[in-house]
Structure formats: C-alpha cells, structure tokens
C-alpha cells in the first residue's frame, strides 16, 4: 500500500480555479492509496479573529483543490485563527467533503482521539499534535498537545491492537533547517514508545530525515500550498527561495509494517505545484541527504550546529514580537501571556542567541 504525505497547506488567498498540480504530481497522487497533509487554514466565513501574528482563512469551497487528499491533520498553530467558530466550521466542511481529519477537535478528548483507518487490509492510526492552540476544558476546542502523556499511552495501545502508527507533529522553529533538540527528543520518544513513522511540519522549509531504530523521522515537509504574501516581512530572507522548494514523502507499506520510502521534490508557488522529473529529483535527493547528515553525526556536533543557528532564531522571534505583536507597547501581564507558549527550548535558544550575539560583537570590537 502506498501512502503519500504533504506538508503545510493553506488555502488563504489561493485561486483554487487557477491553481494546479503538474502531471508528475498528479500521477503520484493517483498512484497513492492515501494522500495526507496538514491543513493550516480554517475554512470559515467568520470575521472574529483570535490574537495571532497572521490570521488566515478560506471559504469551504476551496476544498475542491484538495480532491487528492483523503486525510488531513488539523494540529497546527493556525487552526484557531478564527476561534471556536473557525475550528468547527472547518470540521463541518471536511465532513461534508468526506475528508477525514485528526489532531484537533471540539473538545480536548476529541482532539486527542487518534484517527483509525483500515485500508487494503492494513490498520492505520494517525495521531496529530502540536504545542500551539491546544484544546482546554473551556476554550471550545483546539489541538492535541504534543507532549501529553495520553499520546504515549495511545501509541502503546494502538501498537498492541496491531495498528501501523503515524505521528504528524507541528513543531520546531520557522525558516531553519536543523530541528531542535526538543523535537528530536520527542520524535525519539514517539518511536521508542512504538510509533512507526513520524512526520513534521511548521518551519515552512524542509528539514532533514533521520533513521532511528529502523523508523523514519521527517522533521519538516515544508510548504506544499501557501500564498507567498503570508511571508512578506515574516521570513528573515526577502523572497526566500527555500519557501518554494520541498518534497512529498511516500512509503510503500508491507503487511508486516516494514516500509520503503521515497521523496519527490517539487517547486511550489501561488499558481501551482510542479513535481520534479527523475533527473532533477535525483539532484534534489542529494541535497536533502546533505541537509540530513548532521542528524547522523555525534550528538555534540549536532548540538553545536543547532545552537549556532539559535542566534538567528532568537533574533527572528524578537523581530516578530516587536513588528507584529508590538511587545514594546504591552503591559507586563500582556507580555507574560504572549510568552505563555514558551518552553525550555525557547529559553535555551534565547540564552544561546544572546551569548553568540555577544561573542560576535566582541570579535567585531577586537
């Protein structure tokens, strides 16, 4: 059985009548028994926004573009851009079109509930999670928290029931190639607990692929469908070309739950997705392998390289908070609320960023 995974999909500002997939891409979809992606855009007409750096929505009719997709994850930082109404409208639209979903729900319990499927005689289970927009007891719904103890218990239970378990996680830091230590710890724990495959998204560019205990971890699949206007003044690189190149990840799954994997590189823009031909894809595969090499090295070498980019991460996050969330005008309480999603990795990035930045200034003085 063939399953193909795509990265971040936002239908915001996309002309669904004009947008198209090239023949290579369409053929890949047709040859797949199931296509899965991350729907990072509420499907709603609501105009009541939640506080976000950038709010996105699209009409339910735009789902026509996702005909190849049978399943989507809703576990991402934008699914509550238009609050409970936007989330529930999205779920209703997906149900109307017969597209199954996971990773978010009207209640915390529904958000944590895995999607179970039986296809071609194989039992599949999808778990979606993120640290953003989590459902609580009284917020009207949201996403499943990626470090919830319930997820690890679900993995164990699903494996005991004979499911092939897939984690689709929305994590990491935007516009950076190397996954964070937090992400790697979580990914390894998922596999240690019994997950068969871990797929990641959120950075908007692709990250490396890691082989861990015979399982694949794809830390970020990057953008699949995303309008370029979203990234104006957000990406640290003007007209960042990395936002327009990534890959689809396909597995051929066997009855014994072993699988072989293949990546299919593509270029994406506001008008469509063009999957690469065999020659171009071979070159692209080498580039992905090169990016992934740091995940094969000793952990100290990986940490050194990761924290060298932490300076850029912390600078970028500070710029976003200043330019889009006007942190300098907020009260102390408002600043605390803004930082409420911060975790230990954010703190370490900030500390490393300050230290590296200061050392660079000293070198300039010298």
149 Cβ partners below 8 Å, 6+ apart?
none
SS3 content of the chain, % helix, strand, coil (to 5): 40, 25, 35
Instruction: Please state, in angstroms and rounded to a whole number, the distance separating the CA atoms of residues 287 and 88.
Output: 40
Q: What is the pLDDT of residue 363?
A: 62
Separation between Cα atoms, residue 70 and residue 287, nearest integer Å = 30
How far apart are the C-alpha atoms of 366 and 362, rounded to whole Å?
6
Question: In the block, which residue shows the tokens 């790697």?
Answer: 184
User: Domain residues of the chain, as ranges?
Assistant: 2-296, 300-365
Show pLDDT as tens, one digit a residue, over the chain (366 residues). 999 999 999 999 999 999 999 999 999 999 999 999 999 999 999 999 998 899 999 999 999 999 999 999 999 999 999 999 999 999 999 999 999 999 999 999 999 999 999 999 999 999 999 999 999 988 999 999 999 999 999 999 999 999 999 999 999 999 999 999 999 999 999 999 999 999 999 999 999 999 999 999 999 999 999 999 999 889 988 899 999 999 999 999 999 999 999 999 999 999 999 999 999 999 999 999 999 999 999 999 999 999 999 888 998 998 898 888 888 888 988 888 788 778 899 999 999 989 988 877 666 655
Q: 154-169 b/e with 16+ CB inside 10 Å = b?
A: bbeebbeeebbbbbbb
Measure the CA–CA gap between 109 and 148, rounded to whole angstroms: 12
CATH of domain 2-296: 3.60.21.10
- Dihedral sign from CA coordinates of 25, 28, 32, 36: negative
Q: What is the structure's pLDDT at 302?
A: 97
């Amino acid at each position: 059985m063939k399953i193909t995974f795509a990265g971040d999909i936002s239908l915001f500002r996309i002309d669904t009548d004009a947008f198209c997939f090239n023949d290579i891409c369409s053929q890949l979809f047709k040859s797949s028994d199931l296509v899965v992606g991350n729907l990072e855009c509420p499907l709603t007409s609501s105009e009541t926004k939640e506080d976000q750096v950038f709010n996105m929505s699209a009409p339910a009719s735009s789902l026509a573009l996702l005909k190849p997709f049978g399943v989507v994850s809703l576990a991402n930082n934008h699914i509550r851009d238009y609050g409970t109404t936007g989330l529930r409208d999205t779920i209703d639209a997906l149900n109307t079109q017969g597209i199954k979903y996971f990773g978010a729900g009207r209640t915390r319990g529904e958000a944590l509930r895995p999607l179970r499927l039986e296809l071609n005689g194989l039992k599949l289970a999808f778990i979606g999670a993120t640290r953003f927009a989590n459902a609580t007891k009284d917020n009207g719904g949201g996403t499943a928290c990626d470090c919830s103890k319930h997820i690890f218990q679900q993995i164990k239970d699903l494996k005991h029931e004979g499911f092939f378990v897939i984690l689709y996680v929305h994590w990491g830091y935007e516009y950076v190639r190397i996954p964070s230590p937090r992400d790697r710890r979580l990914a390894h724990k998922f596999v240690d607990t019994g997950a068969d495959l871990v797929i990641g998204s959120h950075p908007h560019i692709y990250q490396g692929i890691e082989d861990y205990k015979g399982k694949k971890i794809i830390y970020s699949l990057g953008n699949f469908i995303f309008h370029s206007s979203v990234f104006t003044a957000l990406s640290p690189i003007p007209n960042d070309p990395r936002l327009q190149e990534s890959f689809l990840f396909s597995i051929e799954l066997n009855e014994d739950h072993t699988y072989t994997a293949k990546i299919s590189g593509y270029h994406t823009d506001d008008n469509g997705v063009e999957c690469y031909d065999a020659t171009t894809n071979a070159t692209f595969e080498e580039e992905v392998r090169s990016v992934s090499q740091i995940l094969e090295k000793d952990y100290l070498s990986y940490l050194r390289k990761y924290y060298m980019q932490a300076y850029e991460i912390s600078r970028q996050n500070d710029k976003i908070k200043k330019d889009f969330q006007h942190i300098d005008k907020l009260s102390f309480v408002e600043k605390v609320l803004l930082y409420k999603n911060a975790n230990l990795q954010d703190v370490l990035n900030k500390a490393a960023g300050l230290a590296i930045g200061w050392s660079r200034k000293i070198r300039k003085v010298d």
